[in-house]
Chains A and B, each alone.
Chain A
Amino acid sequence: MTTKARYERPLIKKLESNMPNKFGMRTEFEPFTHIDGVSVASLMADYGSPVFVLSEQKIRNKFKAARQAFETRYPKVQFAWSYKTNYLSAVCNVFHQEGSWAEVVSGFEYDKAIRHGVDGSNIIFNGPDKTQEDLRKAITNNSLIHIDHLDELYMIQEIARETRQKPKVAIRVNMDTGIYPMWDRFGFNFENGQAWDALNKIMFSGLLDLVGLHTHIGTFMLSPNAYAIAASKLANLAQRIQQKYGHEVKYIDMGGGFSSLNTLKGAYLPGTDTNPSIDDFAEAITSALINSDYHPKSPPLLILETGRALIDEAGYLLGSVIANKRLSDGRRATILDVGVNLLFTSFWYDHKITPAQEFTSYTEDTVIYGPLCMNIDMVRENISLPLLNKGDKIVIHHVGAYNMTQWMQFITLRPNVVMIDMDGKPHLIRKNESIDSIENLEEIPPHLSHFEL
């Protein structure tokens, strides 16, 4: 028996003056068949489609590189894992094993960190929504509370007075770092003096232990220089406190926001080519701190709440082609079993998508839709993709950040999440949802339990 050739759907493409040939538009040259030595096909056979896959090796390597980038430039550095980026317990524990503290922004995340076994004093509590109960817990556990607004400051002072504890606090500072948009909804503003006022209130009250200063200037930042500006502004505040009160803050927390290698929608060049590296950010931040006028007896600890940049590239989403269709205007559309329900980040990234099996040099401009019966479910508006058949498998890259926390249980259920360990062995780290996992939370009032049709 002769073996049959691999089938590829037939394609006829008009040559237009502005349309280059196969060497012009091709972005994918090789199929992406293995993650850390494990075949994509076997992962999907074992864990279904779609499935999220995380590489433990990639996480650890990236973390080590980031730590090295900062530690070679500054004497005291501490990372705190940003829970909201990905709070699957296995993921958090990889970071904690690497020495990361926990950075949380809600009571839920706080409890999760405690459950993971993080000591309260190694938890940074950020965010605008901390309930009185959350704060009492955090104060008792000696956690680092980053105050977002005056109402929170008053609430903490009240608890301190009442319980005769001295909470460890920092304030979050927002500022103009020359970037757009300026994040001024969190924390106290630097330029208009709010931040300085808040610090004075803290120092005057004597009720709180001002241990640090915190900022978080934005997200997916492409300008290391903005961090240099932010670092020097925080150093300026630290210096003024030292001058006025003789008090030294123990740490400066630069927050997160470093870009990963994803490509933002509307960007002309791919993110892998243009986005700054961790070294660029490290250089900007550490030299701004070292060159600032703030010279305490011992240099403050530099805290980083890096999330996205440490895990995005370690995450893959594997999916399958459900169908190909032709839109009314002649455009090609491909429907995947992966949609915006799982890939929230497709709202702002042009995610890289690679077929997981052989393909030829022919491509077609394609709209990629997800499986939801909802118009906005579009993964890529226009991508030049090799020709995919129904049932073909694809790999979506750089999905480790935010998707496994912002995903929606909408219309369909959330899939398995697998982590491939350092020895190339896959582990299920979050089981796919069943109808029970959703319905078990529901209750039906007696009068609604029966009906006849």
Chain B
Amino acid sequence: MKIRNNIAVSDNGFVFNPASGESFTVNQVGLDILNMLRKGEKQEAIVQELSKKYQADTVMIERDLLDFEAMVKQYHLHQNED
């Protein structure tokens, strides 16, 4: 999944979608994920990266990542893949 190019993500976790005018906040793990998604990182790489940084097993991280991605989709912050 990729994040739309025009989405602005600030260092303090404020997310703004200029296309819709909606704004969001993310916590630190969410911010890490968004930044990796913006770089086009794949799911496995993100899970690996997070498990290096945080005390959590990959199963939990992967499940939370899926949920997070679903929310990102629900908020229309992703690029359509096709």
Q: Is there a direct interface between A and B, measured as CB atoms under 8 Å apart in the complex?
A: yes
In the bound complex, do residue A15 and residue B27 qualify as a contact, i.e. CB atoms below 8 Å apart?
A: no
The answer to whether A7 and B72 touch (CB under 8 A), given A12-B24, A13-B25, is: no
Query: Which residues B19-34 have CB closer than 8 A to chain A?
Result: 22-30, 32-34
Count of chain B residues with a beta carbon within 8 Å of a chain A beta carbon: 30
In the bound complex, do residue A15 and residue B25 qualify as a contact, i.e. CB atoms below 8 Å apart?
A: yes
In the bound complex, do residue B29 and residue A10 qualify as a contact, i.e. CB atoms below 8 Å apart?
A: yes
A64 within 8 A of B: no
B67 within 8 A of A: yes
In the bound complex, do residue A6 and residue B15 qualify as a contact, i.e. CB atoms below 8 Å apart?
A: no
In the bound complex, do residue A7 and residue B24 qualify as a contact, i.e. CB atoms below 8 Å apart?
A: no
Contacts of B50 in A (CB 8 A): 7
The answer to whether A4 and B53 touch (CB under 8 A), given A10-B68, A12-B68, A12-B71, is: yes
Contacts of A7 in B (CB 8 A): 29, 50, 54-56, 60-61
| Interface 1/0 per residue, A337-366 and B, CB below 8 Å | 000000000000000000000001010000
In the bound complex, do residue A13 and residue B24 qualify as a contact, i.e. CB atoms below 8 Å apart?
A: yes
In the bound complex, CA of A186 to CA of B79 (Å):
67
Contacts of A387 in B (CB 8 A): 27
In the bound complex, do residue A10 and residue B25 qualify as a contact, i.e. CB atoms below 8 Å apart?
A: no
| Interface 1/0 per residue, B59-82 and A, CB below 8 Å | 011001101101110110000000
Tell me the smallest distance from the CB of A3 to a CB of chain B, in Å.
8
Contacts of B15 in A (CB 8 A): 12
Contacts of A11 in B (CB 8 A): 26-27, 29-30, 68
Write the chain B residue with the least CB distance to A325. B67
In the bound complex, do residue B28 and residue A360 qualify as a contact, i.e. CB atoms below 8 Å apart?
A: yes
Contacts of A4 in B (CB 8 A): 52-55
In the bound complex, do residue A14 and residue B22 qualify as a contact, i.e. CB atoms below 8 Å apart?
A: yes
The answer to whether A389 and B70 touch (CB under 8 A), given A7-B61, A10-B65, A360-B27, is: no
In the bound complex, do residue A6 and residue B55 qualify as a contact, i.e. CB atoms below 8 Å apart?
A: yes
Contacts of A13 in B (CB 8 A): 24-26
In the bound complex, CA of A4 to CA of B29 (Å):
13
A34 within 8 A of B: no
Q: Interface majority SS on B: helix, strand, loop or mixed?
A: helix
Contacts of A324 in B (CB 8 A): 64, 67
Contacts of B29 in A (CB 8 A): 7-11
In the bound complex, do residue B56 and residue A389 qualify as a contact, i.e. CB atoms below 8 Å apart?
A: yes
The answer to whether A326 and B28 touch (CB under 8 A), given A7-B56, A14-B75, A389-B56, is: no
Contacts of A425 in B (CB 8 A): none
A131 within 8 A of B: no
In the bound complex, do residue B27 and residue A10 qualify as a contact, i.e. CB atoms below 8 Å apart?
A: yes
Contacts of B33 in A (CB 8 A): 10
Point out which of B15, B23, B27, B30 has the most chain A C-beta atoms below 10 A from its C-beta: B27
Tell me the smallest distance from the CB of B77 to a CB of chain A, in Å.
8
Write the chain A residue with the least CB distance to B55. A4
A330 within 8 A of B: yes
Contacts of B67 in A (CB 8 A): 9-10, 324, 326
Point out which of A9, A330, A360 has the most chain B C-beta atoms below 10 A from its C-beta: A9
Query: Which residues A178-224 have CB closer than 8 A to chain B?
Result: none
Contacts of B27 in A (CB 8 A): 8, 10-11, 360, 362, 387
Tell me the smallest distance from the CB of B73 to a CB of chain A, in Å.
11
Point out which of B60, B64, B70, B72 has the most chain A C-beta atoms below 10 A from its C-beta: B64
Contacts of A116 in B (CB 8 A): none
In the bound complex, do residue A12 and residue B75 qualify as a contact, i.e. CB atoms below 8 Å apart?
A: yes
A5 within 8 A of B: yes
6 CB contacts below 8 A, A to B, read: A7-B55, A9-B60, A10-B29, A10-B68, A12-B15, A330-B74
The 10 closest A-B pairs by CB, nearest first: A7-B56, A7-B54, A10-B30, A10-B29, A10-B68, A362-B27, A9-B64, A4-B55, A11-B27, A15-B23
Q: A15-B25, A324-B67, A326-B70 are in contact. List 18 more A-B contacts (CB 8 A).
A: A5-B28, A5-B53, A5-B54, A5-B55, A6-B55, A7-B60, A8-B27, A9-B60, A9-B64, A9-B68, A10-B26, A10-B68, A11-B30, A11-B68, A15-B22, A15-B23, A360-B28, A362-B27
